[in-house]
Amino acid sequence: MSITTRMGDHTLTLSVSEYVSGQGLAIMAIDMETEEIYAPLSTNISGCFPIYDGGFFISEDNPARELVAHLVEEEIITPTDNTVTYGNFGSTAREYTLNEG
């Protein structure tokens, strides 16, 4: 599955698949003009499984914050109330759901 959106000067396609471990959706934004990765969105967190259908985690320190805000504003993704702390430095990730159609 893929979803396309326009953000500023970029036409981005979200490439959506699943992590092999079954830990939610794996989502990457591809810039269609350069055909290069614009930003990885989802984070595969060992031992953490999404609790919502179509769920995936985005790290709160993801450098693509502007893209995340755009996707929420465009109602492509929706933040949930589920957060997890992971890693040696206490990073936080929030679960989001992908709104299909």
Cα 74 from Cα 66, distance rounded (Å): 12
pTM here is 0.88
For residue range 3-12, list pLDDT tens digits in order.
Answer: 999 999 999 9
Across the range 21-28, mean pLDDT stands at 82
Q: DSSP letter at 43?
A: -
Domain holding 16, by residue range, is 2-98
Tokens of 41: 């969105």
% of the chain with per-residue pLDDT over 70? 98
Confidence of residue 33 (pLDDT cuts 50, 70, 90): very high
**Which positions ≥6 away from 50 have C-beta within 8 Å?**
23, 24, 25, 56, 57, 82, 95
- At residue 6, φ and ψ (nearest 5 deg) are -110, 125
pLDDT of 59-101, one tens digit each? 998 889 999 999 999 999 999 999 999 888 889 999 999 987 5
The count of domains in the chain is 1
Measure the CA–CA gap between 81 and 89, rounded to whole angstroms.
22
Q: What is the pLDDT of residue 89?
A: 85
